[in-house]
């Protein structure tokens, strides 16, 4: 008996089907759900069924109330249930707000110098093997011009915390991009700075700022960062950026060293408190020249789970299918798009510096021209029934009453 509807609807249908007779297990064939095929409320699978019902209940609660208790979070993050239910619901919610549109951001990795020493990051200052570079203002502008011709309407200026560019230099770059391309958004991703710097850049025309919080647990944060960095300051930066009127993106790595489920729960709670416009989520991937070289990489399923949960909790956020997802699985980004992501961020940096912007090992798309990258990505996006659009891709505010 083939059931109609999405995986969630199919599951609900089944849970409502009465069993025909005691001790006679009525087989209910459900596409892609082997474990639920013998759905008898009177048999030994009863507990399993009620676990599945709890999953549905928790997903629905997350969608409506935007929060869960710790047991419900643990169930959705760690539980043994068919993730397709979660991913399909996340995709449906994404399509309610954004249709099948996928927004592109042209990423310009302008410097791999960094004053910080995050233990996971390949461009940390202690990595003497990193081949350091920074792009000139002219090079950055020429990347943006090339990107504009390819259909990009958002440019992300991202780099390590490189103080050789003054606050004024960055403001000049923002102004120059906005002057050449007034129909484009400029996103900055330059790490932690003073609120006064953020203010100057906002006044120069910057629209958005990406600053992943990395982990919302203080003790876990300390295990990933040196003593001179603090979660408190990182969070303060995010709240400052929001107060200045930026569209703000936070985010975290999945299965970074020492990460436990309780930390992911804290990430979700922090995200709900911050109410960011964007959330970047990718698997941790070890880099060979860092203290975490021998640590295990994050898994695809757990990363997709966190992407989907974030979509369901926030509804209208902009969520990238990250390059790191594409690095751990050849179709990772496509899978991300089917689990609630709606943004991709191809590289616009000059090909000769791409290898050097190595945050983690085996990063994809380091050898292609920007134009090749966008053709390849368009095809990938089409393969999951979505389409890349030429659009700034701004955050769409939601009337809470219509949610
Ligand atoms: N694995 C995965 N993501 C990483 N990042 C930095 N190093 C790694 C790594 N080893 C992510 C961080 C950072 C973003 C720019 O890249 O989350 O905020
Ligand atoms: Fe540069 Fe983390 S190593 S900000």
pLDDT at position 6: 53
Share of the chain above pLDDT 70, in %: 86
| Interval between CA 201 and ligand 2 midpoint (Å) | 21
**Looking at 22-31, 168-177, 259-268, 308-317, which range is the least confident one?**
22-31
First and final C-alpha spacing in the chain: 34
Atom of ligand 2 at shortest range from CA of 160: 1
Minimal-distance CA residue to ligand 1 atom 16: 359
More confident residue, 237 or 10: 237
The pLDDT of 70-76, averaged and rounded, is 95
Query: What pLDDT is stored for residue 369 in this prediction?
Result: 86
Ligand 2 centroid–CA 113 distance in Å is: 9
Q: Is the CB of 285 under 6 A from ligand 1?
A: yes
Residue 243 and residue 239: Cα distance in Å, rounded?
6
For residue 107, is pLDDT > 80? Answer: yes
The pLDDT value recorded for residue 398 is 79
Distance of CA 342 to the CA centre of its chain: 9
Please answer whether residues 12 and 53 qualify as being in contact, where contact means their C-beta atoms are separated by less than 8 angstroms.
no
DSSP for 128-162? TTS---B--HHHHHHHHHHHHHHT--EEEEEES--
Q: How far is CA 254 from CA 204, 257, 300, in A?
A: 34, 9, 9
Instruction: Map 41-84 to HEC letters.
Output: CCCCCHHHHHHHHHHHHHHHHHHHHCCCCHHHHHHHHHCCCCHH
| Nearest ligand 1 atom, CA 283 | 2
94: its two tokens: 């994404």
**How far, in Å, is the centroid of ligand 1 from the Cα of 23?**
53
Q: Is the pLDDT of residue 356 over 50?
A: yes
Instruction: Give the span between the Cα atoms of 96 and 211, in whole angstroms.
Output: 27
User: Which pLDDT score is estimated for 31?
Assistant: 38
Q: Answer yes or no: is the C-beta of 174 below 6 A from any ligand 1 atom.
A: no
DSSP single-letter state for residue 38: B
Best mutation site among 120, 122, 161, 163 for ligand 2, i.e. most ligand atoms within 8 A of its Cβ? 161
Q: Evaluate whether 243 touches 272 at the Cβ level (below 8 Å).
A: no
Give the CA-trace dihedral at 240, 305, 334, 142, to 10 degrees. Answer: 20
What is the CA 267 to chain-centroid distance, rounded?
A: 13
**CA-wise closest residue to 390 among 369, 374, 372, 370:** 374
To the nearest 10°, report the CA torsion of 110, 114, 116, 122.
80
Matching residue, tokens 């999945």? 254
What is the average pLDDT value for the chain, to the nearest integer? 89
- Helix/strand/coil percent split, the chain, to 5: 45, 15, 45
Give the count of beta carbons closer than 10 Å to the beta carbon of residue 263.
17
Q: What is the pLDDT of residue 19?
A: 41
Answer whether residue 17 shows pLDDT above 50.
Answer: no
Contact yes or no for 143/177 (Cβ under 8 A): no
Per-residue DSSP letter, 365: S
Let me know: does 286 contact 292? Beta carbons within 8 Å: yes
Residue 12 reports pLDDT greater than 70: no
Residue 52 binned pLDDT confidence (cut-offs 50, 70, 90): confident
What's the pLDDT score for residue 47? 42
Q: How many beta carbons lie within 10 A of that of residue 107, not counting itself?
A: 27
Q: Which of 109, 113, 121, 359 to mutate to test the pocket of ligand 2 (most atoms within 8 A of CB)?
A: 121
Segment 215-234, tens digit of pLDDT: 999 999 999 999 999 999 99
- Burial group, residue 11, by CB count within 10 angstroms (0-12, 13-18, 19+): buried
Tokens encoding 362: 């085996």
Q: For 73-88, what is the mean pLDDT?
A: 94
Residue 355 — very low, low, confident or very high, per pLDDT cuts 50/70/90?
very high
Structure tokens at 224: 């990933």
Ligand 2 pocket mutation pick from 124, 227, 280 by most atoms within 8 angstroms of CB: 124
Tokens in use for 51? 């676990």
List CB contacts of 62: < 8 A, sequence separation 6 or more.
68, 72, 76, 309, 312, 313
Confidence of residue 27 (pLDDT cuts 50, 70, 90): very low
Cα–Cα distance, 308 to 85 (Å, whole number): 10
Angle at which helices 7-16 and 46-65 cross, to 10°: 130
The SS3 of residue 206 is: coil
Query: What pLDDT is stored for residue 30 in this prediction?
Result: 39
Looking at residue 50, its pLDDT comes to 58
> What pLDDT digit, counting tens, does each position of 130-146 carry?
999 999 999 999 999 99
Q: What is the pTM of this model?
A: 0.90
Q: What is the mean pLDDT of residues 326-349?
A: 97
Return the minimum-mean-pLDDT range out of 47-51, 103-107, 150-154, 288-292.
47-51
Tokens 């790595």, residue located? 253
Helix (H, G, I), strand (E, B) or coil at 39: coil
Protein residue with its CA nearest to atom 4 in ligand 2: 116
pLDDT at position 40 = 44
Region class of 3: left (phi > 0), else alpha (psi between -120 and 50), else beta: beta
pLDDT range class, residue 367, cuts 50, 70, 90: confident
């Amino acid at each position: 008996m083939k059931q109609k509807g999405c995986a969630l609807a199919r599951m609900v249908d089944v849970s409502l089907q009465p069993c025909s007779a005691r001790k006679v297990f009525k087989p209910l064939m459900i596409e892609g759900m082997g474990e639920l095929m013998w759905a008898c409320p009177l048999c030994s699978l009863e507990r399993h069924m009620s676990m599945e019902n709890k999953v549905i209940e928790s997903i629905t609660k997350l969608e409506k109330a935007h929060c869960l208790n710790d047991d419900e979070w643990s169930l959705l993050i760690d539980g043994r249930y068919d993730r397709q239910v979660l991913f399909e619901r996340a995709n449906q919610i994404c399509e309610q707000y954004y249709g099948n549109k996928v927004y592109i951001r042209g990423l310009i990795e302008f410097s791999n110098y960094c004053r910080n020493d995050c233990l996971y990051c390949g461009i940390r200052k202690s990595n003497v093997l990193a081949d350091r570079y920074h792009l000139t203002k002219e090079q950055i502008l020429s990347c943006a011009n090339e990107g504009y011709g390819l259909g990009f309407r958002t440019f992300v200026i991202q780099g390590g915390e490189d103080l050789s560019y003054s606050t004024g230099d960055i403001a000049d770059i923002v102004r120059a991009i906005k002057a050449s391309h007034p129909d484009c958004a400029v996103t900055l991703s330059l790490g932690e700075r003073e609120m006064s710097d953020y203010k100057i850049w906002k006044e120069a025309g910057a629209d958005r700022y990406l600053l992943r919080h990395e982990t919302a647990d203080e003790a876990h944060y300390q295990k990933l960062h040196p003593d001179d960095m603090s979660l408190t300051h990182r969070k303060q930066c995010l709240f400052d950026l929001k107060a200045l009127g930026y569209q703000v993106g936070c985010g975290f790595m999945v299965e970074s060293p020492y990460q436990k489920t309780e930390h992911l729960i804290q990430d979700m709670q922090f995200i709900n408190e911050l109410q960011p416009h964007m959330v970047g989520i990718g698997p941790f991937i070890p880099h060979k020249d860092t203290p975490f070289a021998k640590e295990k990489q994050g898994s695809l399923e757990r990363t997709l789970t966190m992407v989907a949960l974030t979509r369901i909790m926030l509804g209208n956020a902009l969520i990238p299918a990250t390059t790191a997802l594409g690095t751990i699985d050849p179709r990772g980004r496509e899978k991300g798009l089917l689990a609630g992501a709606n943004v991709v961020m191809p590289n616009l940096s000059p090909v000769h510096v791409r290898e050097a912007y190595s945050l983690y090992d085996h990063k994809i798309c380091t050898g292609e021209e920007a134009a090749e990258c966008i053709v390849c990505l368009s095809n990938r996006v089409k393969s999951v029934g979505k389409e890349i659009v030429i659009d700034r891709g701004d955050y769409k505010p939601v009337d809470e009453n219509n949610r």
